[in-house]
Amino acid sequence: MTKTIIYGKTGQLASALAHELQDKAVIFASTEYDFSNIENIKHALENIDAGAIINATAYTDVNKAETEEDAAYKANALIPEALALYAREKNIPFIHYSTDYVFSGESDEPHKESELPAPLNAYGRTKLAGEKKVAAIGGKYLIFRTSWVYDHKGKNFLNTMLKFAKERESLSVVSDQFGAPTYAAHLAKATINILNNLEENNFPSGIYHLCNSGFTSWHGFAEEIFKIARKNGIELKVNEVKPISASEFPTPAKRPANSMMDCSLVSKTFGITMPDWKDGVRECMGKIIK
C-alpha cells in the first residue's frame, strides 16, 4: 500500500492530517529530519512506497521572523523546494501550504489567486519565496493558501483567547483586520479529499485559496469563541471585549488589514466547499470540552 508522507509531526495541521489519514500516513518530524536537502530526503524515504508528500511544517512565528528571516526562509522556502524536487523526480503529488500574508491587504475585496502578491512582513516574504520555488520546480504540485489556522490544541488565537478569558475581566482585541478563521481539521479533510480524487493524467498543478467560508475580524472571532464556550458551560472571567484598531496594538510585524480570500477556484476545480468559519469554531470547542 502506498503511503502519504507528512512532513511535520506536532503542528496543528500535521496532527489533523495524520488523524485524517490514520495508517495511510508516514510522519517525519522536522525536529528530527532536515528536509532542506534532497539527499536527506532520499535517504529517509528510500524504503517507503510514497504516493504523495504533504509539507505541513513551516516557520509561523510572524513577529519573530522579523529578526530571524534566515531561519524562516529555510523552513518556508528551502524545505518546500527540496520536497517538491523529490516529488517531481518520483512523479508523485506534492502539497504545500501558504498564507494570506503574501498579500498587502490594502483592497477591500477577497483576494484571488491571480492577484499580485505584496507581503508586508518577513513571514509573508519567505512564504511567497516558497510558493515561487515550488512552482519553478514544477511537477504535480498543489499550493493551498489558507488563513488564521487554529486547532483545539497548540499555540493559536483560539487557545490564547480562552486562556486570557479565564484570567482577565477585560480584553482588547483588534477589530479592523478581517479574514477567515480556518479550523485545522476542516483544512486537513479538504486536503485529503482533493488528494484522493486527483486524476493521474489531468493534474491541475497551481496555487489555490483554501480556507473556511465567510469572514470576521479578530474581535468577532474572539466574541464567537466566548459565546460558544459559555454555551457549553465553560466558566470565563471576562465580561468586556473591547474592539481596538491595529494601530492601538502595534506588533513587530505589520499585518494585512484584509486577509479575506476568494476560494471559488478550488471549489470549481475540485468540487470542494469549506464549512463556515463559525462551524469550525463550534466543532473545535466541542473537542476542548470533551
- The SS3 call for residue 198 is coil
Catalytic residue chosen out of the listed positions 59, 73, 101, 123: 123
Q: Is 173 helix (H, G, I), strand (E, B) or coil?
A: strand
Q: Is 123 one of the annotated active-site residues of the chain? A: yes
**Taking the alpha carbons of 84, 181, 68, 256 in that order, is the dihedral positive or negative?**
positive
Beta strand extents in 152-247 (DSSP E only): 170-174, 178-179, 182-183, 206-209, 216-217, 240-244
- Tell me the C-alpha to C-alpha distance, in Å, between residue 178 and each of 92, 141, 225, 247: 36, 29, 16, 15
In terms of C-beta distances under 8 Å and separation of at least 24 residues, what long-range contacts does 156-164 make, across chains too? 156/12, 157/181, 157/218, 157/221, 157/222, 158/221, 158/225, 158/281, 158/284, 161/221, 161/222, 161/225, 161/226, 162/225, 162/229, 162/234, 162/236, 162/288, 164/238
Report, as residue numbers or ranges, the catalytic residues: 123
